[in-house]
Amino acid sequence: MQVTLIDLATSSVAAALAAETPAAAASGTPGAGARLMLIVPVLTLLGTVLCGLCAALRVKSKLPAWTTVALLAGSFAAVAATFSRGEGVLSPVIAHGFEWISIAWGGWGSGGLGHGITANFSFYVDSLTLLWMLFVTGLATLIALYASEYMSHDAGTGYCRFFAGFNLFVFSMSCLVMADNLVLLYLGWEGVGLCSYLLIGYFYKKPSAVAAAKKAFIVNRIGDLGLALGIFLIYVQFGSVEYATVFEAARPYIDSFRSGDFAAIPAAVQLIPILLMVGAFGKSAQLPLYVWLPDAMEGPTPVSALIHAATMVTAGVYLIARTYPLFLCSEHALPVVAWVGTLTALLAATIGMAQFDIKRIMAYSTVSQLGYMFAGLGALTSVGAAFHVLTHAFFKALLFLCCGAVMHGFAGQLDLRRLSGLIRVPGWKVVGVGMLIGCANLAGFPFTAGFFSKDMILAEAFVTPGMAPIGWLLLLTAGLTAYYTFRVFFRVFVGPVSFEPGDEVHSHAHDEAHTHGHSSDHANTHDQAPAHASTAHGHFHPHAPGWAINTVLVILSGLSIAAAGLYFMGPHGGWVASMIHHSSADLPAAIGEHPSHGSFLGMDPHKVMYYVSAVVGFAGIAAAFILHYAGRTSAATSRRADTLSDRLGVIARAARAKWYVDEVYDYLIRTPLWVLSHVFHLVDKLIVDGLVDLFGWLPRAFGRSIRPSQSGVLHGYAVGMAGGLAVILLIVLLVAW
């Protein structure tokens, strides 16, 4: 399989690497547009400092939110201006900030044969950078505006703390995406992990939120170790951590890849993408490191939308796309990426089908769609993967924010069995329409942005030799996705009007103002259907979203629809393809020009997949309609779906329990480590500390034993001398005898 992949992949590698050479990257002085990119970290750090000052001054207004929105809008304007001027679009440009790390030894850098490392605070501005930064800063601005209303119940120190973390996250993500070297990328990588920990655990008095934050932090550390080892190995092999130098140094191995001579590629070089892959799997929640992301829904919904749906979790996809030339240096890296992504997509989809918490359903959907992106990278359609990243960022942020609006207005309620017909409740039409648009994109409804981006990955899986099984599994996943997506829509937004407030309403469900004042996040997954879901709304009046939330939902709905037009702007793959073509992720731009090496039931996948994926999507939607809408008379029950669930028995219960993956991890990993740590504690306490205490006790005991011999009493000394003389005489007699 791999030799055929070489033929497909390498036609444009030379052009891509030529754009990555040091000469190309450093040619001339960076233009004004490239220098504008340096404004992004400055503005976001300034936002963090200003929010900290607001906390110190005990500001209780929305000033931190408006400051954050203004500064993030300025960041987006800087990125948009850079793109509009064409800086970095056709070839990379280095925007130098300041000297950061520059270490030399043994005459390096002065004509000698020594060594050194250079890692400046500089940005590598190319089309891939611009593509990512446009949606990172744009979505951050919109979600900050949404959060200004959503988090208003916590105005004061908590409000300032939230937006300080928000700004710090965008700063870290900017460093990760725009870095011109792997050390700065790692700084941003760890920064977004820290911000994720802080924001997931925002409700630090809530045990489940604290546990989720720790779980995310620890699981990500596993992947981060792989990334750190990969960076170390890159420096050892190539003598640099700067992209331009590394890509140029990897050129001979790319030539070996092209000729199929993997024996000429050292094992250490082939290990590099494997290590980078581990880091990507951790940050982007892929098997086996995906378990942290669903629990991360304990954080505020704006955090879920920004960090855990649209930006941070795509960092792993970005890492592989940025270092794509290095992945050609391994015979097994890309196939492993494809299979792990596919299996993750399928597993997460099966779990999402059985959940009742609508926010967690969207979380498992995110894991599944990230799997699609990895499958696209592994199937040699970096364009399809990047296009799906872009479209997913828009519609998944929209879906999360719609769920957040429901939670905000219904006192934390998220159980789809306690909500029904919300689109007909006064004040909720914007949320209902936004949810429909987001669901249509996620389900791959024909002519939506999600339909086109997902179709590119599906078609390429069948075109790429040896990956037809991946294509079939992804098609199955697409059908499951359409089902569980519209399961949420049919249960929550249409059907009979019925709703019940969440736990946050407590005993004050009759007081609308009080309900609004306690609308912080709370993620529940109930295993048993409520008995009184259709009757509780008699004395409860949901709080409809305000202008900030509705404005953001309208804009994201428009962007989710407009993103489909990007597919038609240019060659196959549209505008995203033109952006990827001039970056290190261009593998290969000319793949569409090759004759198809695979087929779908004897037909060209690129021509027939539109219809196949549409049929699969319609089948999933139809199943959701029949099981969860047709004939349903209450929010709590859906006779057909409940009957099917009962018939599935243990399968349905296992899917609802997330296939017991957390329990397996607890049994195989956490519990043994806990036991081992206590064993080591006892070893340390009884043996290590015991030996130390023993060697400390022995001199003291010896001193106490001989202390009486130095009493200062003369007749005692005489007795001692006499006794000693007697012993000597006895020894002499025994020897003489």
Sequence-distant (≥ 6) Cβ neighbours of residue 147 within 8 angstroms: 65, 162, 163, 166, 300, 302
Closest CA to 293 of 190, 385, 366, 353: 366
DSSP H helices, 563-598, are 574-580
Give the CA distances from residue 51 to residues 47, 156, 306, in Å, rounded to whole numbers and listed in that order.
Answer: 6, 11, 19
- Nearest residue to 235 via CA among 322, 120, 119: 119
Of 569, 579, 624, 561, give the one whose Cα is nearest residue 395: 561
Instruction: At 435, list the tokens.
Output: 């949810």
CB 20, CB 246: distance < 8 Å: no
8 A C-beta contact, residue 416 and residue 355: no
Residues 6+ apart with CB under 8 A from 70: none
DSSP letter for 289, please. Answer: S
Report the Cα–Cα distance between both ends of the chain, in Å, rounded.
94
pLDDT of residue 514: 38
Structure-token pair, residue 570 = 């240019």
Number of Cβ within 10 Å of residue 568's Cβ equals: 9
Q: Where are the domains of the chain?
A: 657-698
Model confidence pLDDT, tens digit, residues 441-475: 999 999 999 999 999 999 989 988 888 999 999 99
Distance separating alpha carbons of residues 433 and 518, to the nearest angstrom: 26
Cis peptide before 288 (omega within 30 of 0): yes
In this structure, is the dihedral angle defined by the CA atoms of residues 492, 497, 498 and 501, taken in order, positive or negative? positive
Q: Which residues is 98 bridged to in the sheet?
A: 121
What is the sign, positive or negative, of the torsion defined by CA atoms of 540, 544, 546, 548?
positive
The DSSP symbol for 667 reads I
Instruction: Give the closest residue to 356 by CA, choosing from 659, 643, 658, 634.
Output: 658
Q: How is residue 95 annotated by DSSP?
A: E
Instruction: State the Cα–Cα distance between residues 667 and 673, nearest whole angstrom.
Output: 10
CA separation for the pair 173, 143 (Å, rounded): 15
Q: Which amino acid is at 629?
A: Y
Distance CA(342)–CA(475), nearest Å, equals 10
pLDDT of 48 reads: 94
Low-confidence ranges of the chain (pLDDT < 70): 1-33, 106-114, 505-538, 571-572, 587-598
Reported as half-sphere exposure (CB side, CA atoms, 13 A), residue 289 has a value of 22
Distance between CA 80 and CA 97 in Å, rounded?
19
- Rounded (5°) CA angle 78-82-590: 135
DSSP designation for 268? H
Residue count of the chain, please give it.
Answer: 737
The DSSP-derived string for 303-364 is HHHIIIIISGGGHHHHHHHHTHHHHTT-SSHHHHHHHHHHHHHHHHHHHHHH--BHHHHHHH
Residue 591 near residue 8 (C-beta atoms within 8 A): yes
Strands 419-420 and 498-499 come out as antiparallel
Report the candidate in 592, 622, 589, 620 with the shortest Cα–Cα distance to residue 604. Answer: 592
CB distance 457 to 385 below 8 Å: yes
Backbone angles phi, psi at 232, to 5 degrees: -60, -45
pLDDT at residue 89, rounded to an integer: 79
Residues 396, 401, 402, 406, CA torsion sign: positive
What pLDDT is attached to residue 549?
93
Give which of 225, 247, 229 is closest to 238, Cα–Cα.
Answer: 247
Is there a contact between 362 and 396 (Cβ–Cβ < 8 Å)? yes
Helices marked H in 495-565 — which ranges?
Answer: 512-516, 547-562
> What's the DSSP call for residue 589?
G
Residue 45's pLDDT is 95
Cβ atoms of residues 358 and 381 within 8 Å: no
Q: Which residue has the tokens 């003291």?
A: 700
pLDDT for residue 517: 39
624: nearest Cα among 414, 418, 366, 442: 442
CB-based burial of residue 608 (10 Å sphere; 0-12 exposed, 13-18 middle, 19+ buried)?
middle
Q: How far apart are CA 202 and CA 157, in angstroms?
A: 12
pLDDT confidence of residue 290: 93
Helix, strand, coil share of the chain (percent; to 5): 70, 5, 25
